[in-house]
């Protein structure tokens, strides 16, 4: 079981309020991702759930039990740190066995579980090495191994892939997703990588300055952002925003449209501009178009488009896919 409920969770460091008040209900078996800009309190929120930081106010309830004042050990959660935080003086075998040893499990059972975990993570050849002699990806696997042996009620990940190179990151992302499908255990995953968030999550929590801006499925956030912040944060390249008479036309303070919902033409269109950056990625082409009326707009078209730096183009938004926002930033 791994149902985690946060009620009015509040955290200050000294006089600095980092988390004003957060309410969340994470269901058993869910894969929840916390995203948000740097310094918004993702790690702090995760560490509060883990029990590594004390609450200033509010409650944390795991499977119906109020654990607000419990030690991390009592909460039976496992955590994977960004720096892996392996024990440098222990072999891989001892690292993975450590939580079981702390739980007082008999040695023969420990051996069995460690072997099983090592096999599922392809670590059997490295069991007698110390972490210093492993590659980044292997260390990451050991950290995951140490987390899974104990069958915790939930896993907490704090940017676990950010120290890996791009190719390895994709592999590990898939491995973690597979792991979740196999174990069906609740996972809370902190990242500021959009792609990780969108591809891995059942539901995403978007945080800004310690506040939950929106909690929903990836497609919810993409299709129905509740405010301008979420609209701008989810999606890559970012949504374009336009104010003024163009927005008035749609009866809004500000309108937004995604780069993939725009058309580019060399002959006619809504706004005229000059291509200031052309990113040809092969399958896609991103154009940064500098217009006189509404500033720089980013468009996304397919790879075949024959437009280059310095060309004059006309861009128009797809009027069916326009997001409207009020003066308070909320979606209309």
Partner 1 sequence: MARKVTLQRKLGFTALAWFLGCIMFFPIFWMILTSFKTEIDAIASPPLVFFQATWENYQLVLNQSDYLKYFGNSVVIAGGSTILALLVAIPSAWSMAFSPTRHTKDVLMWMLSTKMMPPVGVLVPIYLMLKYLGLLDTRTGLVIIMMLINLPIIIWMLYTYFKEIPSEILEASRMDGAVLWKEIVYVLLPMALPGIASTLLLNLILAWNEAFWTLNLTAANAAPLTAFIASYSSPEGLFWSKLSAASTMAIAPIMVLGWFSQKQLVTGLTFGAVK
Ligand X SMILES: Nc1ncnc2c1ncn2[C@@H]1O[C@H](COP(=O)(O)OP(=O)(O)OP(=O)(O)O)[C@@H](O)[C@H]1O
Tokens at 40, concatenated:
């918004």
In this chain, which stretch among 19-27, 46-54, 62-70, 251-259 interacts with partner 1, using CB under 8 A?
Answer: 46-54
Binding status of residue 146 toward partner 1 by CB under 8 A: yes
The residue (of 99 and 225) whose beta carbon lies closer to partner 1 is 99
Binding status of residue 40 toward ligand X by CB under 6 A: yes
Per DSSP bridges, beta strands 262-265 and 312-317 are antiparallel
Per DSSP bridges, beta strands 186-190 and 240-243 are unpaired
Q: What is the four-CA torsion angle of 290, 305, 231, 33, rounded to 10 degrees? A: -130
Binding status of residue 117 toward partner 1 by CB under 8 A: no
Q: What are phi and psi of 164, to 5 degrees?
A: -105, 160
Binding status of residue 140 toward Mg ion by CB under 5 A: no
Binding marks (x or -) toward partner 1, 65..104, rule CB under 8 A? ------xxx---xxx-x-x-xxxxx--------xx--xx-
Binding status of residue 60 toward ligand X by CB under 6 A: no
Binding status of residue 44 toward Mg ion by CB under 5 A: no
In the list Mg ion, partner 1, ligand X, none, the entry touching 83 (Cβ below 5 to 8 angstroms by class) is partner 1
In the list partner 1, Mg ion, ligand X, none, the entry touching 303 (Cβ below 5 to 8 angstroms by class) is none
Least distance in Å: CB of 15 to ligand X?
10
Number of residues located near partner 1, criterion CB under 8 A = 23
Binding status of residue 136 toward partner 1 by CB under 8 A: no
In the list ligand X, Mg ion, partner 1, none, the entry touching 99 (Cβ below 5 to 8 angstroms by class) is partner 1
The residue (of 37 and 326) whose beta carbon lies closer to ligand X is 37
Q: Are 74 and 243 in contact (CB under 8 A)?
A: no
Beta-carbon contacts of 320 under 8 Å, excluding residues fewer than 6 positions away, are none
Q: What is the four-CA torsion angle of 190, 192, 195, 201, rounded to 10 degrees? A: 30
The residue (of 82 and 217) whose beta carbon lies closer to partner 1 is 82
Binding status of residue 188 toward partner 1 by CB under 8 A: no
CA distances from 179 to 2, 31, 55, 170, 310 (A): 16, 11, 30, 14, 48
The separation between CA 33 and the C-alpha centre of its own chain, rounded to angstroms, equals 5
Binding status of residue 43 toward Mg ion by CB under 5 A: yes
Pick from 9, 24, 41, 197: which binds ligand X (CB under 6 A)? Answer: 41
Side-chain half-sphere CA neighbours of 257 within 13 A = 23
The residue (of 161 and 289) whose beta carbon lies closer to Mg ion is 161
Binding marks (x or -) toward ligand X, 187..206, rule CB under 6 A? -----x--------------
Binding residues for ligand X, rule: CB under 6 A, are: 13, 16, 18, 36, 38-44, 192
Binding residues for partner 1, rule: CB under 8 A, are: 14, 50-52, 71-73, 77-79, 81, 83, 85-89, 98-99, 102-103, 146, 150
């Amino acid at each position: 079981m791994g149902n985690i409920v946060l009620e009015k969770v509040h955290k200050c460091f000294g006089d600095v309020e980092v988390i004003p008040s957060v309410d969340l209900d994470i269901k058993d078996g869910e894969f929840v991702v916390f995203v948000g800009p740097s310094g918004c309190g993702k790690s702090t929120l995760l560490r509060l759930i883990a029990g590594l930081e004390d609450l200033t106010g509010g409650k944390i309830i795991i499977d119906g039990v109020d654990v607000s004042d419990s030690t991390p050990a009592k909460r039976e959660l496992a955590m994977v740190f960004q720096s892996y935080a392996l024990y440098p003086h222990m072999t891989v075998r001892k690292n993975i066995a450590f939580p079981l040893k702390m739980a007082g499990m008999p040695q023969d059972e420990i051996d069995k579980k460690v072997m099983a975990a090592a096999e599922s993570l392809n670590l059997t050849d490295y069991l007698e090495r110390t972490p210093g002699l492993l590659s980044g990806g292997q260390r990451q696997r050991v950290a995951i191994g140490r987390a899974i042996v104990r069958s915790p009620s939930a896993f907490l990940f704090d940017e676990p892939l950010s120290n890996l190179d791009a190719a390895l990151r994709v592999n590990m992302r898939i491995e973690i997703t597979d792991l979740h499908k196999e174990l069906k255990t609740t996972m809370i995953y902190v990242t500021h990588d959009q792609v990780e968030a969108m591809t891995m999550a059942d539901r995403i929590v978007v945080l800004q300055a310690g506040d939950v801006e929106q909690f929903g499925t990836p497609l919810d956030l993409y299709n129905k952002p509740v405010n301008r912040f979420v609209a701008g944060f989810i999606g890559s390249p970012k949504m374009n925003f336009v104010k003024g008479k163009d927005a008035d036309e749609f009866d809004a303070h500000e309108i937004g449209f995604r780069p993939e919902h725009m058309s580019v033409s060399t002959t006619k269109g809504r706004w005229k501009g000059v291509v200031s950056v052309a990113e040809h990625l092969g399958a896609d082409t991103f154009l940064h178009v500098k217009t006189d009326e509404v500033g720089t707009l980013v468009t996304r078209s397919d790879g075949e488009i024959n437009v280059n730096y310095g060309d004059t183009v006309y861009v128009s938004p797809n009027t069916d896919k326009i997001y409207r926002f009020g003066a308070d930033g909320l979606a209309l």
